[in-house]
A and B are shown apart, each in its own frame.
Chain A
Amino acid sequence: MKKDNIVIALAGNPNSGKTTIFNALTGSRQRVGNWPGVTVERKEGKTDLDGRQVTVVDLPGIYSLTANSLDERVARDFIVQDKPCLIAVVLDASNLERNLYLSLQLMELKAAPLVLVFNMIDEVEEKGMSIDLDGLSRLLGIPIVATAAKKNRGIQQLKKVLAERIGLDALTPADIPFRYRENTEFAIERLSSRLEKDPVLGQSSPSRWLAVKLLEDDREYLARLEKSPLRNALLEDLGVLKKELEKSIGYDLETALVEERYGFINGIVKEFVKTSWGLEDRLSLSDKIDKVLANRVLGLPIFFFLLWLIFKLTFDVGGFFVDHIDRLFTALGSQAATLIDRLDAPSWVASLVEDGIIGGVGSVLVFVPIIFFLYLAISLLEESGYMARGAFVMDKVMHAMGLHGKSFIPMVVGFGCNVPGIMAARTLENPKDRIITILITPLMSCAARLPIYVLFAGAFFAKHQGTVIFAIYLLGIALAMLMARLFKSIFFKGEPAPLIMELPPYRLPSAKSLLLSAWHRSFIFIQKAGTVIFLAVVAVWCLASLPL
């Protein structure tokens, strides 16, 4: 990254509205999902802060800086190695206790000055809660901006605060109000003073952070320690300190450190957040919905019914538009041919334009409506929060095939397009589960394969088109399951990782964001039709029509 380039990183828990903040800041439209880990790839956007061009990077949603999953590693590596000028931490303000954990870790890391964005402040107000933002901001020494990104509230204020904080030293504020218990602090001090003298490690990150991470047994930092010339002395120190501490605490040190952080946060929330007991309304509604949708008996049938409904609607509604677009292109082709004839051009030009270019590209573009409606349905599943429930109810079935409940999300997204499907596999923590999921996702029939299915089904099974197409889809799924079992028993032996997944409260997605997200994804298909497919069509026409 260039030095003169101002980079702001957006960090936060999944479902905290990070992507909505990103869209509000940069004006660019990405998809906004509601299942954990929707940020499929690193997204960048430009924004204007106080007349300066700033790059905003949307990091994947993470719960901690422990680097357990690939998402967490991606986010942590970016923060530690790329050194953004500023980190805006987006929090779901209606759920501060869990959300502040990541903020506290970022405060400990001291990689960049922070701005805390308390998003969904409208939900806090609706619940009758109140947060003493000024008090909390003063205690932490970090500015806090309250926003409701969906309603575009607080965005101007956020931009103003971000602009003010650009260029501050990474160590602002120099001190954070959080301390571990005395024994732990002592061990951290001792270890970090040793680390400071280390020529390799001392340079990379603040030594206090390093010491904490080493005491936590963080594998990545332990691996870095291996490269240090003072390795043996440091490892010995670490061992002795850990043993002493664990003896005085009575249990695992790592758990104790997490506990102390949560303890501090608990204190903050008690002091600065006023709650009234009507607080859980939104969740209790979600709970009621889950009684049905995530039910042990009803969950699976409902899930399959919804999938069937999606395909039915996609083909019925999409099919209606397909006929019209088909007619449009046929008319366009013959019009163009007549026009070219009138210009006295050779007949092969007319044929190239009518049968080759317009006919060829048209035959692909007619499927845009179907693809659009399929993406619309997938976006609806994601943004409403049902996708996470799908993974939850499918867990047992997936487990039986040696897969993880979350493997199901890449597979469903794969129906739209395999590429984002494969990218979505990143949220699986266990590398084995991830690789199997990536290997079988291409067996899901993606939208681009649909035109070919339709063509074959129409040509050979004209009477049972719909059934045949559905059967091809099922065949793909069956094949995927078979391959998963096969891969599992030959290459990746062992149990899949257990499912741990946040179930976000159900939210009514806005029509605008659904349409935008479906359009965004369909547009990529249209782009391909305009370039790759166009060239291929011309090549095929040449082979078919020219006397070679």
Chain B
Amino acid sequence: MCPLSLCATGERVKVEKIAGGCEVRRRLEAMGVLPGEEVEVISCHCGPVILNIKGCRLGLGCGMAQKILVTPVAPSR
């Protein structure tokens, strides 16, 4: 398990845990970032991260990306 901010561009990962206040968690959850959800890292520069979640692009700031813990998944296609 590692923070999303450390992932490489193009990696597919599974969200394990969202550490952070309940405000932030709620917002992420409403947009579909839930534990167990698989996401694709479109771009990551140890800071702002762009995610592909359910076909949408979501931009996350540095601090946010550090609070989302993920595990890598083997590519399915």
Contact = CB atoms under 8 A, between A and B. Distances in A.
A101 B53 CA distance: 14
B54 A500 contact: no
Contacts of A94: 55
Nearest to B62: A396
B32 A98 contact: yes
A271 to B, nearest CB: 16
Contacts of A290: 42-43, 50, 57
Interface in A490-548: 495, 497-505
Interface string A456-490: 00000000000000000000000000000000000
Contacts of A368: none
Interface of A: 63-64, 66, 68-69, 94-95, 97-98, 101, 217, 251, 254-255, 258-259, 262, 279-280, 283, 286-287, 290-291, 294, 296, 388-389, 391-393, 395-396, 399, 405, 429-430, 495, 497-505
B25 to A, nearest CB: 7
A287 B52 CA distance: 10
A287 B47 CA distance: 17
Interface string B28-49: 1111101110000011010110
Contact of A503 (B26, B47, B54, B59): B59
A480 to B, nearest CB: 20
A294 B50 contact: yes
B58 A502 contact: yes
A534 B47 CA distance: 52
18 contacts: A68-B23, A68-B30, A97-B54, A262-B32, A279-B55, A287-B42, A294-B48, A294-B59, A389-B59, A399-B63, A498-B20, A499-B59, A499-B61, A500-B24, A500-B28, A500-B59, A501-B58, A501-B60
A97 B64 contact: no
Contacts of A97: 32, 54-55
Interface of B: 20, 22-32, 34-36, 42-43, 45, 47-48, 50, 52-64, 67
Contact of A502 (B42, B59, B63): B59
Nearest to B77: A277
Contact of B57 (A399, A500, A503): A503
- The list of the 9 closest CB pairs from A to B, nearest first, reads A499-B61, A498-B64, A64-B30, A296-B45, A503-B57, A392-B59, A498-B63, A258-B29, A97-B54
Given A255-B35, A294-B50, A503-B58, A68 B63 contact: no
Given A95-B55, A283-B55, 15 more contacts: A68-B26, A69-B27, A251-B35, A255-B35, A258-B30, A287-B43, A294-B50, A296-B45, A392-B50, A399-B63, A498-B60, A499-B48, A499-B59, A501-B58, A503-B58
A145 to B, nearest CB: 22
Nearest to A503: B57
Most buried by B among A66, A279, A499: A499
B58 A68 contact: no
Contacts, number: 127
A29 B48 CA distance: 36
Nearest to A286: B57
Most buried by B among A258, A498, A499: A498
A63 B59 contact: no
A505 B57 contact: yes
A203 B20 CA distance: 36
B31 A503 contact: no
A505 B53 CA distance: 13
A283 B50 CA distance: 12
Contact of B23 (A63, A95, A396, A497): A497
B55 A294 contact: no
B49 to A, nearest CB: 10
A294 B36 contact: no
A499 B64 contact: yes
B32 A101 contact: yes
A369 to B, nearest CB: 35
A499 B27 CA distance: 11
Contacts of B54: 95, 97-98
Nearest to B25: A255
Most buried by A among B23, B26, B28, B63: B26
A396 B48 contact: yes
Nearest to B61: A499
Given A101-B32, A259-B36, A405-B61, A280 B26 contact: no
Contact of A98 (B25, B27, B31, B63): B31
B29 A294 contact: no
Contacts of B60: 498-501
B64 A500 contact: yes
Given A68-B26, A290-B43, A495-B63, A500 B34 contact: no
A393 B28 CA distance: 20
A502 B31 contact: yes
A436 B5 CA distance: 28
Nearest to B30: A64
Contacts of B52: 283
A251 B25 CA distance: 14
Nearest to A269: B54
Contacts of A389: 59
A497 B24 contact: yes
